[in-house]
Amino acid sequence: MSKLYLVPTPIGNLEDITFRAVRILKEVNLILAEDTRKTGMLLKHYGVSNNLRSHHMHNEHRTASEIAARIASGESIALVSDAGTPGISDPGFLLVRTCVAAGIEIETLPGATAFVPALVNSGLPCDRFHFEGFLPHKKGRQTRLNYLATLPFTFVLYESPFRLAKTLIQLSTVCNPDRKACVSRELSKLFEENRRGTLVELAAHYTNHPPKGEIVITVAGNSGDEPENEEVLLTEE
């Protein structure tokens, strides 16, 4: 039966893919990949030989309807991102929405995503949490940071290594600087690191030790009894 498959791929360690995911990637008519070169290496590792086509943030608006039409005509198509689950801070939402509107069946496989292991590994409460993804670089950034500071439960951010220290400094300004947090880096890879501490401690560490790799920041919620910091105007880049 024709459908759209959303297939998670490893966030680092190539062993973090399911048997089912490999089977689906072998069986579909076409694989949509954020970066065909990167996905091509993954497919080669697992002996998957199949048709690949680019599907990324720069072309997804143009191609979503055409892809949905192909599925409606009888093809099965799999969507993967460079790492993790499609649609989670990666392309996927527009195609899913188009297929839903067209009545096309969608099957999402469970699998790798970066924020879940970072959240659980942080040691912070995870019975309730807020996933923010990437903050805006400029417009709206201060508004989002001020909002996150008020949340009574743990929140999770994605960040680039080049902006990590600045983001931690900003968080320690809008939140209580002694708020507990964890920075997870290179999850599932050889040099995985989960560094825990206060926001001010983590900001100081990564200011003096610029990191490499993919970053997840997990921050404790507002306890309600911590002193409130004044809202300050963040310097835009």
> Could you count the other beta carbons within 10 Å of the beta carbon of residue 97?
13
- State the Cα–Cα distance between residues 177 and 88, nearest whole angstrom: 29
The confidence band for 229, taking pLDDT boundaries of 50, 70 and 90, is: low
Instruction: Compute and round to an integer the Cα radius of gyration of the chain.
Output: 20
Burial annotation 195-225 (CB, 10 A radius, 16+ → b, else e) = ebebbbbbbbebeeeebeebbbbbbbbbeee
Do 39 and 91 lie in one domain? The reply is yes
Instruction: Let me know: does 93 contact 20? Beta carbons within 8 Å.
Output: no
**Phi-psi region at 195: left, alpha or beta (left = phi > 0; alpha = psi -120 to 50):** beta
190 CB burial (10 A radius; 0-12, 13-18, 19+): exposed
- State the Cα–Cα distance between residues 187 and 191, nearest whole angstrom: 8
Does any domain span residue 128? yes
Do 69 and 141 lie in one domain? The reply is no
Which CATH number belongs to the domain containing residue 167 in this structure? 3.30.950.10
Q: List the domain range (segments joined by +) for residue 95.
A: 4-108
pLDDT tens per residue, range 68-126: 999 999 999 999 999 999 999 888 999 999 999 999 999 999 999 999 999 999 999 99
pLDDT (mean) for 127-154: 95
Does any domain span residue 234? no
Does any domain span residue 236? no
pLDDT at residue 230 in the model: 53
Does any domain span residue 36? yes
**DSSP-derived pairing of the beta strands 154-159 and 215-219:** antiparallel
Do 94 and 23 lie in one domain? The reply is yes
Which SS3 state, helix, strand or coil, does residue 145 take? Answer: helix
Do 128 and 149 lie in one domain? The reply is yes
Cα 100 to chain centroid, rounded: 22
Is the model's pTM score more than 0.95? no
- State the Cα–Cα distance between residues 203 and 76, nearest whole angstrom: 47
pLDDT (mean) for 183-204: 97
Q: How many domains does the chain have?
A: 2
Cα 201 to chain centroid, rounded: 25
pLDDT at residue 57 in the model: 85
Which CATH number belongs to the domain containing residue 85 in this structure? 3.40.1010.10
Does any domain span residue 224? no
Q: Which residues pair with 130 in a beta bridge?
A: 155
- State the Cα–Cα distance between residues 64 and 61, nearest whole angstrom: 6
